[in-house]
Amino acid sequence: MRRAGRTNEIFFPSLLIHVYFATSMHMFETLVLLHIVTGTLGLAAFWVPIATKKGAQAHRRWGRIACYGFLGAGSLAVVMALLSLYGPEERIPSVTDRTLFAGLFGWMMLYLGLLTIGFVDYGLAVVRHARDRAQLRRARYQAVMAAVVLSGLWCGGFGLAIGQPLMVLVSVVGVVAMVLQQRFVWRREAPPGAHVGEHFRALIGMGISAYTAFLSVGLVRRFPEQVFNPLFWAGPSLVGVGLILWFTAQANRRKRARSSAPGVPRSG
């Protein structure tokens, strides 16, 4: 009887551990699938508001679809990152360096997820509160920006510690973006229509962070041999920066055209 009791003492905890690991892995695979679905929805819808007339019905409708898709993908990325950091270890066996795994698929994934959420939140809020910028100073918006900055600093510091400059570079992008957003939020006066540029840059930033997370972290889970492919990391940023420069040039051209129109007083 004592021997049977000792056997049960060993068997049942082992069974519970096995069930926990199997359930966790199944849940993780489900989260990856949902991440791919929501990310694909956001990535597909993202280009419609860029190509359509700003403020038109199609621009607003597809912009909301892209935002909600990216919001779902970013939230799932946060959950997957936490599971990668604190769940069972059997994630992408081909990445044998567990410290590197924690950096790329844990802390960087967490940061990119929060960054995507932060860009969506700010990009929508800056239009919603275009006539009352002080609303953006509320704790609810400031907390999201603070979470992005803190996770970005931790991601960059972790990358520096393990010798991964890519983690440092992506963290700098987000931290600088949050600083620029805070500059707009807290400035005393803002030029008329300044919220339009903020809206555009935030949602382009949303696209950059979402594409980076989806390509470099999401798809790499399926194709781990591409984990250090620089196109996955640099491609979204190059396209996004190009779009921001194009938008800025277009806005400056329209501004010059308005200022040179007959009947418009010139400054100076």
Question: Which residues, in sequence order, are CB contacts of 45 under 8 Å at separation 6+?
Answer: 62, 63, 65, 66, 69
Q: Domain count for the chain, please give it.
A: 1
Decide if 50 is inside a domain. yes
One-letter amino acid for residue 169 of the chain: L
Residues 238-253, mean pLDDT to the nearest whole number: 66
Decide if 18 is inside a domain. no
Decide if 224 is inside a domain. yes
Is the pLDDT assigned to residue 130 strictly greater than 90?
Answer: no
Decide if 264 is inside a domain. no
Decide if 57 is inside a domain. yes
Is the pLDDT assigned to residue 260 strictly greater than 70?
Answer: no
The two tokens of residue 246 are 């194009």
Q: Which residue in the block uniquely carries the two structure tokens 């096995």?
A: 18
Decide if 198 is inside a domain. yes
- Measured CA distances, 187 to 131, 142, 194 (Å): 14, 15, 12
- Could you tell me if 147 and 121 are in contact, meaning their C-beta atoms sit under 8 angstroms apart? no
* Residue 25: other Cβ atoms inside 10 A: 15
Domain extent, residue 192, equals: 28-250
Higher-confidence position of 231 and 106: 106
Distance of alpha carbon 130 from alpha carbon 32, whole angstroms: 36
Out of 84-98, 143-157, 219-233, 240-254, pick the least confident.
219-233
The two tokens of residue 50 are 């860029």
DSSP 97: -
The two tokens of residue 130 are 């275009």
* Residue 214: other Cβ atoms inside 10 A: 25
Decide if 13 is inside a domain. no
pLDDT in tens, 24-68: 556 777 877 887 788 888 888 888 887 888 778 888 899 899 899
Residues 225-235, mean pLDDT to the nearest whole number: 61
Decide if 73 is inside a domain. yes
pLDDT in tens, 86-119: 876 555 565 667 788 788 888 988 998 899 899 9
